[in-house]
Amino acid sequence: MSNQFFGQYLLEKGLLSTQQLLIAIKLQKEANPPLGELAIREGFIDKSAASRINSEQQRTDMRFGELAISLQLMTEQQVSLLFHTQKEIKKFFGEIVVEQGFMTQSSLSEQLETHGALKKLSLDHIDSSIKQHVYCEQITQTLDAIIKNFTRIPKIHVQVSQVEPQQPELLPDHVIISQTAQIPDQVKIGWVMDRPLMKQLATNFLGIDASDNEALYIDATSEFLNIILGNALASNHSGDDQTHLEPPLIELPEDNIQGSYDNGFYLSMSAGQDMFSVFFIYD
Amino acid sequence: MSSPLQVLIVDDSLSMRVIAKTFVTALGHEVVGEAADGKEAIKQYFQLKPDLVMLDLVMPRFDGKKTLKKLRELDPEANIVICSSLGSEGDIEFCLNAGAKFYLQKPFELAGVENALAQITRPLESQT
């Protein structure tokens, strides 16, 4: 499965129990403290200064270390010492699993190789306008999750066609499916698909003919998007973060939604003979 | 050989309920109910008393995390397996700490569901 947290991958393969997974997550957190915690531990700042930096972080895009320097709460030297310490004590999930005796080193290496191969970015080429986009990482992860999940769907091969300068025209046969996520800014991600492609996708996804059942093929297409976005967001989160993803929203061109889809980032993708559009709309 | 489990499937997606039901049945267990949101799930849980709840997280109105907490609060013995497209470390840790017995990330496969269901053993006194 693509974009999967390594611990979850081991759990599903039956190589770790839920208890072992929880222990390993806890130990990994202890071995990878955030910069603020290390700074307090080293006596560079106190808790109230750390809280001040944290609350400033909510309002800016700056990292903890950068803010600490700009607020003159720490020197550059102190921050680089903390980065060094952080690197020294950092432990990978796999290391902890072996240290705890949950797996042998050879079994871990074997699983890391399989998991690594699954995680390898499947986008052979990324358009330069995606690379330059402020949300390049999220867009790339979403496209990666789209391509990887589509490989599970028989007979539909997808690839990125091109970045579109503006929102593609909505036709009467189109259905727009989207979900809102916080990553951490609010973004609406979705796709515009025509019904023949949705019918084919749903039929191949479910393994039963869904083409005559409108509710089922729309539902299957939106659930497929939900899986893709859930997977993409899983690879975009770390540490304590829980994912904030709203359920799918289904809209039709006649719902007069044109205005709400302005000012987004649009890509067209090919799925065999068909095309569909993927969009990212940031607040 | 463990005895068949009675399973309640909770997912707002009809498609995922169809897929989950196919897997559960193929593994020799019985789907006794289906719910499309958390409120309906809690209602059905106490009506049907299933051995296991397969619970989605991203749902309208009353989501899966709230449902998990509520079900475990009302019945600390409730056996719940999370079946979600989400899978960040934070999501998994939250659910397992809240008492979920297993976490399956969508899209799941038959082997994953089998592994999840194997964590739940139906108590001998309730076997028929």
The predicted structure's pLDDT at residue A89: 86
> Which residue from B90, B100, B115 is facing A12, i.e. has the nearest CB?
B115
Spell out, as residue ranges, where chain A has pLDDT lower than 50. 1-2
Q: Do A206 and B19 touch (CB under 8 A)?
A: yes
**pLDDT, chain B, mean:** 92
Cα–Cα nearest to A279, from A118, A124, A166, A186: A166
Q: Which residue of B has its CA nearest to A207?
A: B19
The predicted structure's pLDDT at residue A279: 92
Q: Do A216 and B112 touch (CB under 8 A)?
A: no
Is the separation of the CB atoms in B112 and B106 below 8 Å? no
Distance CA A185, CA A188 (A): 10
Residue A218: exposure state from Cβ atoms within 10 A (0-12, 13-18, ≥19): buried
Six-digit token string for B33 = 């109910």
Distance CA A184, CA A58 (A): 10
Residue B126's φ and ψ, nearest 5 degrees, are: -95, 0
Q: Which residue of B has its CA nearest to A205?
A: B15
Topology classification of domain A128-282? Chemotaxis protein chec (3.40.1550)
Confidence class for position B103, pLDDT limits 50, 70, 90: very high
The predicted structure's pLDDT at residue A257: 64
CA distance A243 to chain B (A): 7
The predicted structure's pLDDT at residue B125: 45
Q: What angle do CA A108, A112, A116 make, to 5 degrees?
A: 175
**Helix, strand, or coil (residue B128):** coil
Give the Cβ contact number of residue A19 at 10 Å.
10
Cα–Cα nearest to A261, from A152, A151, A157, A176: A176
Q: Would you call A7 an interface residue with chain B, using a CB distance cutoff of 8 Å?
A: yes
Q: Would you call B108 an interface residue with chain A, using a CB distance cutoff of 8 Å?
A: yes
Spans of all domains in chain A = 6-119, 128-282
Q: Would you call A4 an interface residue with chain B, using a CB distance cutoff of 8 Å?
A: yes
* 54-83 of B, contacting A, C-beta below 8 A: 58-60, 65
Across the A:B interface, residue pairs with CB atoms under 8 Å apart total 118
Q: Give the ipTM.
A: 0.86
Radius of gyration for the alpha carbons in chain B, expressed in angstroms and rounded = 13
Q: Do B19 and A7 touch (CB under 8 A)?
A: no
SS3 of A133-170: the string is CCCHHHHHHHHHHHHHHHCCCCCCCEEEEEEECCCCCC
Q: Would you call A230 an interface residue with chain B, using a CB distance cutoff of 8 Å?
A: yes
- Choose from B23, B86, B102, B120 for mutation: most chain A CBs within 10 A: B86
The predicted structure's pLDDT at residue A99: 94
Residue B6 reports pLDDT greater than 70:
yes
| pTM, full prediction | 0.80
Q: Does 3.40.50.720 match the CATH number of domain B6-119?
A: no
Q: Would you call A133 an interface residue with chain B, using a CB distance cutoff of 8 Å?
A: no
CA distance A147 to chain B (A): 14
From chain A, pick out residues whose CB is under 8 angstroms from the CB of B89: 5, 7, 25, 237-239, 241
From chain A, pick out residues whose CB is under 8 angstroms from the CB of B15: 202, 205-206, 216, 219-220, 223
C-alpha pair distances (Å), A273 with each of A66, A149, A163, A211: 49, 18, 18, 18
Residue B74 reports pLDDT greater than 90:
yes
Residue carrying the six token digits 């700042």: A45
Residue A59: exposure state from Cβ atoms within 10 A (0-12, 13-18, ≥19): exposed
From chain B, pick out residues whose CB is under 8 angstroms from the CB of A219: 13-15
**Helix, strand, or coil (residue B89):** helix
The predicted structure's pLDDT at residue B124: 46
Residue B27: exposure state from Cβ atoms within 10 A (0-12, 13-18, ≥19): middle
CA distance B45 to chain A (A): 23
* 68-107 of A, contacting B, C-beta below 8 A: none
Distance CA A47, CA A36 (A): 9
From chain B, pick out residues whose CB is under 8 angstroms from the CB of A246: 58
Residue B128 reports pLDDT greater than 70:
no
CA distance B120 to chain A (A): 13
The predicted structure's pLDDT at residue B2: 67
